Structure 1
Amino acid sequence: MHESSEQSVTPRYSQAIVQMAERLGIALPDHLSTRLDGLQRVPIHWQDELWQAFCQASHDPLIGLRLGLEIQVGHLDSLGMLLVTCDTLGEALEELVEYAPVISDGGAFHMRREAGLVLIDYRPRFEVRQAERAEAALGSLLNLTRWATGGRFQPAGIWLRHQPLDAPERYAALAGCAVHFAADHYQLGLSIEQLALPQIQANSALRDHLRQLADQMLAEVGRQSLCAEVEQLIRTHPRWGKERIAAQLQISGRHLHRRLAEDGLSFKTLRDSVLQTMACQMLESDQRLAQIAEQLGFSDENAFTRAFRRWQGVTPARYRERESVR
């Protein structure tokens, strides 16, 4: 399986967690920080481990919000600089909605208008420490928006889907605005008039350059995300072929082939990789070979045996014998 094909996060955001832990004297397992060295993206399950250790070791229910309120522009990769070089706050928020996957494709932002307010919804796609991470996302948006507008931004409030993790008064003191709980969405609210607020670091030439860089990074993340979606569909429906997988993704088989080819892959190699992993896992059970072959979508046991020998160099029966004595 391709480690880069799963959801991922920029290492700069992960480093913000490590740096805050060091500053506060929070002890994290060494491997959680050292394995970030030299990475272009951090796999989302590594980020899950980092957040779990960070929250547990901090003993502070609001450590996520505190992290968000201390996030700096550089922690958001090139997107951070893109956002602050936009002419107005409204333009910056539109760029955030489009380019948020540059920071992480484990969540998305959406902008809508309701009851005279502009609401920036944050929709996380992870389960581990979701409350703390959502608070961090909204806290960082609040902090950087205030900084980029020279302190002129005045939020209408923050809405959280969960119940308070600590005293509501502490939320208000940290955020400097109203905080609402048990809401329908994670969101930051502002008046429509504030979309026109000028930003103190506005620089149209630098913004245009950074947007090109963000487009390149977004395309790379998009290719990885497509790969992850294809792999997940194959795991869930191993009998499906390319055309049915493509239909589920709402693209044509030809378009799927072209998108995978851009990343040096083919549907066949991707499917073989997934089926090989699944087969090895299934062979650790006591299922009959015919059952495994049928579940993986092979016409019969012989077809499965031929494919497995091509993958592993041994028959399924021999592989099972070898693994059983380890």
Structure 2
Amino acid sequence: MNNIIKKLNDFNELVMFKHSIFSLPFIFIAMVVSSGQVNGSAWFGMKLFVLGIFAALTARNFAMGFNRYMDRDIDALNPRTINRPNVDGRISASQMLVFTLANALGFIFVAYFINDLALQLSIPILIIIGSYSYFKRFSYLAHIILGISLALAPIAGVVAVSETIPFWSIALSIGVMFWVAGFDLLYSLQDIDVDKELGLHSIPSKFGAEKTMKISKIFHMLTIAFWLLFAITSGSSYFAYLAVIISALMLSYEHYLVNKDFRKIDRAFFTVNGYLGIIFLILIIIDNIFV
């Protein structure tokens, strides 16, 4: 029993289950808004609630598992990642492959029970979110690919409820793309020297820290612009606009932390962005229930 618990803890460390907080709120934001428009109620039902959670978790586990498998040679040369389970032997390459395949099949299985369009999109989605692992080996646009991977969450959410992809969901997703790419740029500043040494492609290694921080700010300004467009085109009300305003303030605080002290990158990355998604979701729920 102890060995099973230890192995589960190792897989938890491998894919960092708690970081699902970045994608889960936005799949449910799209589901709440879509349900309000289609069903006249923010509640989309227990079935879709459970399937939405499993879809988000299996997709993310697939992406993280595949990334850790592909990056095990790179992680072994990076002092920041050398103690990860994919490097130190706690999880073997074959175990990572089984884990990755199981989650890919799980995602397709869940999509089958959602609707036909979800099933048709399931494999293309897996291809897109899996491609991130390759991009940093030949393109500094890998940050954008990571952003696109998480931006698929709102699209998946609205497809689950309505089997359509309305314009507001695209605006919401593009905002998520720039949000994720922007904070990934800040997080990547930690590896700027290692990326240069190993010949990996990233915006920090190509343009330097100062320009990277400026690009991150631009990305986050675009985030707010597209989330504002989402609020306008979805017919949302006061609380949705409040969510956009609070997001702008939180992203400003994130940049303040990193500008003040690079050692605050973890706090900016995990804490600020984690709360941002939760607050956004809560306000969208309120907006669709009480307004």
TM over 0.5: no
Structure with the greater relative contact order (CA < 8 A, sep ≥ 6): 1 or 2? Answer: 2
Larger Rg: 1
Structure with more helix by fraction? 2
By percentage of residues, which structure has more strand?
A: 1
